[in-house]
Structure 1
Amino acid sequence: MQRLDQQFINNHWVASRGERRLTVTNPYTETVIAEVTAGDPADVEAAVAAARRALPAWQVLSGAQRATYLEGFADALTRRRDELVRLSSTNNGKVLAEAGIDLDDAIACYRYYAGLARALDARQGRPVALEMEGVEARCYHDPVGVVGLITPWNFPLVTSAWKLAPALAAGCTAVLKPSEVTPLPERTLAEIAQEIDLPAGVLNLVFGDGEGVGAPLARHPGIDKVSFTGSNRVGEAVMRAAAERTVGVSLELGGKSPIIVMEDADPDQAADWVMAGIYFNAGQICSATSRLIVHEAVAEPLYAALAKRIDALVLGDPLDESSDMGPLTSARQRENVLNYLAVAEREGLVAVRDARHRELPGQGYFVAPTLYRDVPIESRLWREEIFGPVLCARSVANEEEAVALANDSEFGLAATVISDDPRRASRIGRQLQAGSIWLNSEQLVLPQTGWGGFKRSGIGRELGPWGLSAYLEVKHLIGPTGSGDET
């Protein structure tokens, strides 16, 4: 059993000041595989101080110099890919194929932002077109400063890459708090920082829970910006803490994303995309298309196709390549999902498939892949984020009903539209209130395209050039023509 009772601060492992310990569990065997410190405000204090000391030297490096370190992270993750895939599956519960997708996503993210870091050099000091004679202006992009990065448990190494890579590319230094539920894969980032000789204090990795690390980090006066991914409840607390100091926040929060299937869609092809949108990572994904809105003309064949595919899913050991779906990541999350299923039972929801249709493995935090049809829009299961393998469906009579029902949500993270007519799919997609909309596709998440949502799904964007901009401040130098560019 591993003991993570040290923090990575200023490129050294130092004893945590926290006295509490948290257990880390293998969600398949239900056994404790590690203990991690709950952290302490003194740990946060030391980490922020190290990041502040490192900031002046790091931010004056060229983008090309910082890009070399980002490539170093990508190369080191590539060398460790196989071991990290297994470690992620062991700690998180996702099957090997999904953990492999995660690692490739993280690697691609570091390489992408290495490219943007190099391109940032050429953007510095660009002249701004003005209409006033005798005056010139030049635009610069400065790093925000020291950033606090708080990541969730459902995508270890992925969400940290989405935050850390652009922050370092921009010239920021960072204090990273990984989830206390899945700290084992993230520990590798500290090892890589030492391996590539990342300057001391540029990355500080602080383990702990919300009380020991998260809240002290969000309200620390030495933090210039906080980037958080997780629940709305915690995200709102982070925002309140930032508001007290008037510092920036980026929030990637909940979702209740729709997947629309029109009457001209092929039911079998549509069923494949529906399955991928809700049962990937056992439904523990913020963009899960957990509301199925299907045209009444194709509803019955689609339900039949989904039932067949749900029955074929193999639930089992995530380290077994024959498994299609692993357990939920924690006992707590399984309990949360089971509470929603109890609500469904009380509401009398009609299950096309649920736990009554299969036998679950004898161990592990499993929840049966579930599909309810004709779910009332007033149902909690239709309106609230469940974060598990639970799909709720309703039928509609036309395109207008489909769009209205899709947009009738307090969330707006993602959506999918399935239609045999690509132009129609695009037209529907343009009417949806969401940040990422897939057309006749599985959920493709690319480093080049932005990630974030409308409404209560968050503030700001990650990935793409917008992810880099989140860690930059815009500065203009304005003066008489001929002032010149001092660089």
Structure 2
Amino acid sequence: MTVQQIKSFAAGQWIEPGTGARAIASAINGQIIAQAGNTALDVDAMLDNARTVGGPNLRKMTFHDRARMIKVLAAHLNSHKQALYDLSFDTGATQSDHLIDIDGGIGTMFVYASKGRREMPDAHVYLDAEVEQLSRNGTFLGQHICSPLLGVAVHINAFNFPVWGMLEKLAPTLLAGVPAIVKPATASCYVTEACVRLMLDSGLLPKGALQLVSGGLGDMLDRLDAQDVVSFTGSADTALKLRSAPHIQRNSIRFIAEQDSLNASVLGPDAAPGTPEFNLFVKEVHREMTTKAGQKCTAIRRILVPENHVQPVIEALNARLEKTVIGDPRLETTRMGALVSAAQKQDVLEKAAILGQQAERVYGDPDNFTLNGAGLEAGAFVPPMLFHCADPDTATRIHDTEAFGPISTIMGYQDLDHAIALTNKGRGSLVASVFTHDGDVARQVALGAAAWHGRLYFNNRDSATESTGHGSPLPHMVHGGPGRAGGGEELGGIRGVMHYMQRTAIQGSPDILTAIGGRWVPGAREITAPAHPFTRSFNALEIGETIHTETRQVTVEDIEHFAEFTGDTFYAHMDEDAAAANPFFPGRVAHGYLLLSFAAGLFVEPNPGPVLANTGLDNLRFMAPLSPGETLGVRLTVKQKTKRNDEYGEVRWHVTLTNQNDERVAEYELLTMNAY
């Protein structure tokens, strides 16, 4: 068998394994399939390449440019994922496991590409929250902006997800405009290297945007500065060692950690045997024990059930575990593969022995189980093991020892408060799940346990068909957790991008804030439109381009006609005395939606032109009533422009309605799609 030479990609060059290279064995049969590692990598050259080549190349691009790049990268990986599947079998993963790791990682990239286009501007600066008025007359304002860090993101990933673990960090990093140096765990780095090659060979990434360390980082972390980020996934012990390094602390280098945790799943007190929730619970616990052979940071380690349901749950789980075929992951009949390595197998067995000191093993014997396939004797296989702890209040090891494999412990609780207390004994986890059809149970758990968990997953008969599962971190939501889980947050949509950006408070005049943010701020200079803006193409329009319309008097007849036409006969529009008794109105007033309709009639250009569609309005506020006999005028200003596709872009207009005294009556943002 040819032994693969797993290379590093450093400063634009592929580097062969060298001094310090380590042999990597197949999890299936123990045969040596690769070697990786090089203690002679030029760390300074790698960091310099990222900072002086990769960073500037990425920062030249807008958020939308980078989002489009991530999308085509994801599509490229998607068309070549079979090659990654073929390699991943040797990590012990089954085809179903590949869908979580490889397809899941690619899917995460697609989500970030989409969110980048929808939720971030086609610009170089991200505006965080609204403008703050810092002066009486609005000539001095504040705005928080986020801009890319000027350094490099060093990603240190775990062995269990060689593709997803990389891509879930890489997508938000690239979207932020920061280059990455990826360091996968050596045990499965051959899959990561293949994925990195696919991305680099595609030519879609700018130079310097991505580098790879197959092996150790050397002293790279000691050469970082305050513009750099370390994002780590792995054990709590390793995280502590890295984040407490004097250089990291002295330079306030950002350190994001996603660590091991003793995640729990709670069977609600209402979920008795025979209910849909009971069946869902058993099904998900079994899936979490056996998927990736239990090598998931989100796997269920502690199973909490009402005391009188302990035995039925054990019986139901044992029946499912008995049907789980363990063996060669390349075989279609196999349902659970191997641990990633012999070393990992040894660690899991040692941790299982610790759990066995305070809990009884009620399923699974590591010395006696059947394997599906031939030539697997030297593979890193263990059977699923279920333990039962009769006294979870005093058995401390079940709450602090994680066997990172197909192992879980069931324990009974007396009431819901007891269940919450046991759940929190893990001292911080990535996720806890609750199976209940009772909203009060869910609320009580959320109030009592949320502080110790990064995610609470509730499932029942109503959400079962569409729920993604206890162990599925989604790019839309935060992945991380407090305490033992590391205290960090990954993913979480655009929140995840912010880890690689600096939030800065900008203070100045409306014109200054408009110039920096690329978004018109009320009070900033208006540009007199050379023609009606609805006759001008997306590309021709300028930020700040404004028209002031003619005025229109609003009459009693207008109000009554609108009321009759729409059916909106609310008393404030129809009854003078009742309206005058209302503290908000001087008497009868015009409908707010009548004013919006009249405003459109004042500013709309009716003829065909570049405006293709009105897609909605945001941030509508009615600020003062308008009485019969008063007049209405409109100011329409181009606030922001965002390209959407090759045919049209979105124009955000700032619309202000005023009365005859130039007092604001209403304000909102109109959205239109305009041809280029």
Aligned length: 479
Q: In 1, distance between residues paired with 2:366 and 2:32?
A: 30
**Structure 2 CA distance for partners of 1:195 and 1:404, relative to 1, 3 Å:** same
Q: In 2, distance between residues paired with 1:484 and 1:472?
A: 19
Flag the structure with more relative contact order, 1 or 2, with Cα contacts below 8 A and sequence separation at least 6.
1
Counterpart in 2 of 1:148? 154
Moved more, 145-154 or 371-380: 371-380
Q: In 2, distance between residues paired with 1:356 and 1:459?
A: 34
SS for the counterpart of 1:368 is: coil
What is the 5 A alignment of 1:362-377? 362-363=376-377, 364-377=379-392
Q: Does 1:351 align with 2:361?
A: yes
Aligned 8 A contact 2:358 2:397 in 1: no
Counterpart in 1 of 2:294? 283
Q: In 1, distance between residues paired with 2:126 and 2:396?
A: 52
Q: In 2, distance between residues paired with 1:305 and 1:217?
A: 50
SS for the counterpart of 2:507 is: strand
What is the 5 A alignment of 1:402-481? 402-432=419-449, 433-440=452-459, 442-443=469-470, 444-463=472-491, 464-481=493-510
Structure 1 residue corresponding to 2:239, chosen from 235, 241, 261: 235
Q: In 2, distance between residues paired with 1:135 and 1:297?
A: 66
Q: In 2, distance between residues paired with 1:448 and 1:221?
A: 30
In the superposition, the TM-score normalised over structure 1's length comes to 0.92
After TM superposition, give the deviation of residue 27 of structure 1 in Å. Answer: 0.4
Counterpart in 2 of 1:88? 88
Counterpart in 2 of 1:341? 352
RMSD value over aligned CA atoms? 2.1
After TM superposition, give the deviation of residue 131 of structure 1 in Å. Answer: 4.3
The letter of the residue matching 2:285 is: V
Q: Does 1:73 align with 2:73?
A: yes
SS for the counterpart of 1:182 is: helix
Q: In 2, distance between residues paired with 1:344 and 1:233?
A: 19
Moved more, 440-449 or 64-73: 440-449
Once the two structures are superposed, residues 352-411 of structure 1 have per-residue CA deviations (whole angstroms, 9 ceiling, x without a partner) of: 102179523252211111111125442424421111111111111211110111111223
What is the 5 A alignment of 1:24-423? 24-37=24-37, 39-40=38-39, 42-54=41-53, 55-90=55-90, 92-118=91-117, 119-121=119-121, 124=126, 128-133=131-136, 134-144=139-149, 145-187=151-193, 188-209=195-216, 213=217, 216-221=219-224, 224-241=228-245, 242-265=248-271, 266=275, 267-345=278-356, 347=357, 349-355=359-365, 359-361=369-371, 362-363=376-377, 364-377=379-392, 378-423=395-440
Moved more, 64-73 or 386-395: 64-73
After TM superposition, give the deviation of residue 477 of structure 1 in Å. Answer: 2.1
After TM superposition, give the deviation of residue 467 of structure 1 in Å. Answer: 1.0
Q: In 2, distance between residues paired with 1:216 and 1:293?
A: 44
The letter of the residue matching 1:369 is: P
SS for the counterpart of 2:187 is: coil
**Structure 2 CA distance for partners of 1:357 and 1:32, relative to 1, 3 Å:** closer
SS for the counterpart of 2:33 is: strand
SS for the counterpart of 2:311 is: helix
Q: In 2, distance between residues paired with 1:195 and 1:2?
A: 25
After TM superposition, give the deviation of residue 348 of structure 1 in Å. Answer: 6.4
After TM superposition, give the deviation of residue 25 of structure 1 in Å. Answer: 1.4
Q: In 2, distance between residues paired with 1:477 and 1:396?
A: 53
SS for the counterpart of 1:74 is: helix
Task: Identify unmatched segments of 5+ residues in structure 1.
Answer: none
Aligned 8 A contact 1:146 1:224 in 2: yes
Q: In 2, distance between residues paired with 1:125 and 1:415?
A: 34
After TM superposition, give the deviation of residue 101 of structure 1 in Å. Answer: 2.2
In the superposition, the TM-score normalised over structure 2's length comes to 0.67
Task: Identify unmatched segments of 5+ residues in structure 2.
Answer: 460-466, 519-676
SS for the counterpart of 1:412 is: coil
After TM superposition, give the deviation of residue 10 of structure 1 in Å. Answer: 3.6
Q: In 2, distance between residues paired with 1:357 and 1:271?
A: 26
After TM superposition, give the deviation of residue 157 of structure 1 in Å. Answer: 0.7
Q: Does 1:14 align with 2:31?
A: no
Moved more, 239-248 or 116-125: 116-125
The letter of the residue matching 2:476 is: Q
After TM superposition, give the deviation of residue 190 of structure 1 in Å. Answer: 3.1
Counterpart in 1 of 2:598? none
Aligned 8 A contact 2:77 2:198 in 1: no
Q: Larger Rg: 1 or 2? A: 2
**Structure 2 CA distance for partners of 1:58 and 1:329, relative to 1, 3 Å:** same
Q: In 1, distance between residues paired with 2:335 and 2:497?
A: 35
Q: In 2, distance between residues paired with 1:249 and 1:446?
A: 21
Q: What percent of counterpart residues are identical?
A: 26
